[in-house]
A and B are shown apart, each in its own frame.
Chain A
Amino acid sequence: MNALPATLSPTDLVSRVNGDVERSILRARNGIRILRGTHRPKLGATPKDVVWKRGKAELWRYKGGRVRYGPPVVIVHSLVSRSYILDLRPGNSMVEYLVDAGLDVFMLDWGVPDELDADNDLERYVDWYLPRALAAVRRHTGCDDVTLAGYCLGGVMAALFAAGHDDAPVRNLVLMATPVDFSEMGAMVAMLREGRLDPGDLIDDTGNVPADVLYSGFYMLAPTTEIAQNATLLENLWNDEFVEGFQAMAAWSRDHVPFPGAAFRQVVELLIRENLLMTGSVPLGDRVVRLADARANVLNAMAERDNVVPPPAVEPAMQLVGDPARRHELRLPGGHVTFGTGKSAFKHTMPQLTRWIVEHSDERRDPQERDRLAALGATGIADGL
């Protein structure tokens, strides 16, 4: 409610009162909806097809209008959160934005690991799932290469894949909030690094790190922010759009997935304790992967107010991944989720990321236009003869 100005005509006063009454009714309605748990926003709603599946991993291809740029964009999601953060709500989705920009978008979603996935190590993701998923992308699109975009830990896997495979069909590598220097990460990582917590302390009977342990780790980064968020919700409870956005974000931030135990142990040993990404070389399988060997154009995108993967943890990728002449940096205002949602995402993240991808892609002609040009070309050749 805003403060009343010093002078207010009776008409203004009536309309002001009407407005306040209307908002109060909407607040009550939305409050009841939240308490009842009804009217939950539809998450990850961009239409898609499952084009490949192995174990719990699925490759989704999003449906959209005409594809105007190639190669296709393949998003590799993190192992600890749900991929719908990048396709949160219609009208507020990174995936939808990329599709609308004329890109052919795929998402590699890891599903919800259970005890059958406890042995999945980094090699399983980098050397087994990723090559097969990308082969499926190439089969479905007919393209020779892809733009590989990794979010958070998905970026680490994407970088290891691009650098660890001589034949990696990666033209562009987009690292979004991808941790490289694990000594700059939050409290839970520090506890693991210093040995105050052992991986075994966090792994449960299923052989995985339970989702609620991961939630607690993220929650402890800023334990009191929920108070501010709920107060802001209370003030904006009349605003359907705000309420829907709030519910979507609240649902995602509590919706973690278990971290496969074998991969977790490796992350702790190699990436957290030894901080090997900072040396530029990581042992994987029977070889050592050198990050500098990635032959793609590299975009290292970071969010300046990210408290999950803070910029100092992300910045070193600029010195380590790929060819120095083909590295690009993108600093974005916003937090860790600016890659998926929020005002800042629409204003800065999505346009800038899309522009970079498009600039490093080829334009594809409309099939009719292509046929017409082909016909012209054929006539030209015939005329020449």
Chain B
Amino acid sequence: MSANQPLWLRAVLRAERAVGTRVESAVRTDTYFDVVSRLNRLHGQVNRAAEDLSRRWLHLFNLPAGSDVRRMREQLSRIERRLNLLADEVTEVVP
């Protein structure tokens, strides 16, 4: 910490470190890891449940759901990736 810094800045930096070191240790504890992983899984479950419900409703009216579009995009990406690999192989042979 520089002696040229004004008092207010020194106070802020000191306060930040006082709080920061505690927060940094807290985010490395098992409790934090547990909470984050549980929240992450809960978030996934809620998303899947909501998706499942909306898909059933949309399919009831013969409408495509977001997950159908996603699956189609994934298939298209797979095809495009395969094409890119083939293109790379062709470029190697015929530069």
In whole angstroms, what is the CA distance A234 to B11 when docked?
A: 14
In the complex, A258 has a CB within 8 A of chain B: no
Any chain B CB within 8 A of the CB of A207? yes
Contact of A35 with B by CB under 8 A: no
| Cβ contact within 8 Å between A197 and B40 | yes
Q: Given A1, A205, A221, A227, which contacts B16 in the complex, CB threshold below 8 Å?
A: A227
Residues of chain B within 8 A of A187, CB atoms compared:
27-28, 32-33
- Complex Cα gap A224–B19 (Å): 8
Q: Which chain A residues lie closer than 8 Å to B36 at the CB level?
A: 191, 196-197
Residues of chain A contacted by B27 (CB below 8 angstroms):
187, 220, 223
B32 contact set on A, CB distance < 8 A:
187
Pairwise interchain contact A115-B20, C-beta atoms closer than 8 A: no
Q: Could you say which residues of chain A place their CB within 8 Å of the CB of B74?
A: 115, 205, 207
Q: Are A116 and B81 within 8 A (Cβ)?
A: yes
Alpha-carbon gap, A128 to B92, bound state (A): 11
CA distance A128 to B28 in the complex (A): 37
Q: How far is the CB of A354 from chain B (nearest CB, A)?
A: 28
Closest to B7 in A: A3
Query: Chain B residues with Cβ under 8 A from A119's Cβ?
Result: 81
Chain A 217-232 interface mask (CB, 8 Å, partner B; 1/0): 0001111110110011
Q: Mark B26-39, 1 if CB is under 8 A from A, else 0.
A: 01100011101100
Q: Contacting B80 at CB < 8 Å: which of A116, A191, A196, A224? A: A116
Asked if A235 is at the interface (CB within 8 A of a chain B CB), the reply is: yes
CB distance from A16 to the nearest CB of B (A): 15
Instruction: Contact check, B84 vs A116: say whether CB atoms are below 8 A apart.
Output: yes
C-alpha spacing A116/B24, complex, angstroms: 36
Contact A224 B40 (CB under 8 A): no
- Evaluate contact between A115 and B4: CB separation under 8 angstroms: no
In this assembly, does B54 line the interface, its C-beta being within 8 Å of a C-beta of chain A? no
Residues of A within 8 A of B (CB): 1-2, 54-55, 115-116, 118-119, 128, 187, 190-191, 194, 196-197, 201, 205-207, 220-225, 227-228, 231-232, 234-235
Partner of B37, one of A54, A55, A197: A197
Task: Tell me if B90 is interfacial: C-beta within 8 Å of chain A.
Answer: no
A-B pairs under 8 A by CB, number: 77
* Interface 1/0 per residue, B1-31 and A, CB below 8 Å: 0001110010011001101100110011000
Q: Is B64 an interface residue (CB 8 A)?
A: no
List B contacts of A227 (CB < 8 A).
12, 16, 20
Q: Does B41 contact A (CB under 8 A)?
A: yes
Query: Does B33 lie within 8 Å of A231, measured CB to CB?
Result: no
Contact residues in A for B17 (Cβ distance below 8 Å): 228
CB distance from A266 to the nearest CB of B (A): 17
Q: What's the nearest-Cβ distance from chain A to residue B26, in Å?
A: 9
What are 19 sample pairs from A and B whose C-beta atoms fall under 8 A apart?
Answer: A115-B73, A118-B77, A118-B81, A119-B81, A128-B88, A187-B32, A190-B28, A197-B36, A201-B37, A201-B40, A201-B41, A201-B44, A207-B74, A223-B23, A224-B16, A224-B20, A224-B23, A231-B13, A235-B9
The yes or no answer to B70 lying at the interface (CB within 8 A) is yes
A191 in contact with B84 (CB, 8 Å): no
Report chain A residues within 8 Å CB of B40: 197, 201
In the complex, what distance in Å separates the CA atom of A133 from the CA atom of B6? 51
- For residue B37, which residues in chain A have a CB less than 8 angstroms away from its CB? 191, 196-197, 201
Contact residues in A for B13 (Cβ distance below 8 Å)? 228, 231-232
CB-defined contacts of B88 to chain A, threshold 8 Å = 54-55, 128
Nearest Cβ in chain B — how far from A226, in angstroms?
9
List B contacts of A223 (CB < 8 A).
20, 23-24, 27
